[in-house]
Amino acid sequence: QVQLVESGGGLVQAGGSLRLSCAASGPTLSLYTMGWFRQAPGKEREFVAAISRSSGNTDYVDSVKGRFTISNDNAKNTVYLQMNSLKPEDTAVYYCARGPIGRRSRNRLDYRYWGQGTQVTVSS
């Protein structure tokens, strides 16, 4: 059984910052990739960032490169998404998910377990 719980969302003005957290219940193998996705109203869920928990390598969608940072704390079973220089187009529900073993993926179908999501709203 795997349970993921996101937190840290909220309302922020453009240019501001938020830090999202994803807490996993019980032990989680460090071989699994962890990812963040987001979904805006009327749009499909899109990839944002992923981290290989074994190597530490990361991957980001082009629109957030240089602004967002994904990180992992294995001791706390927690994955973070630091979001800086937020833009109104970043407004969405953000989801944490557990992905493949030993590799990163941008494909949401490769992610088996998902959290309930946390709302991020960026005002202009």
pLDDT tens by residue, 3-25? 999 999 999 999 999 999 999 88
Contact 51, 72 (CB under 8 A): yes
- Position 75 scores a pLDDT of 84
Closest residue by Cα to residue 30 from 68, 97, 60, 75: 75
Q: What local confidence, expressed as pLDDT, does residue 53 receive? A: 84
Contact predicate 95/45, CB 8 Å = yes
pLDDT reading at 59 higher than 90 = yes
Across the range 104-113, mean pLDDT stands at: 94
pLDDT of residue 1: 77
The separation between CA 27 and the C-alpha centre of its own chain, rounded to angstroms, equals 19
pLDDT in the model for residue 28? 61
In the numeric block, the tokens 């957030």 are attached to: 64
Residue 3 tokens read as 């349970």
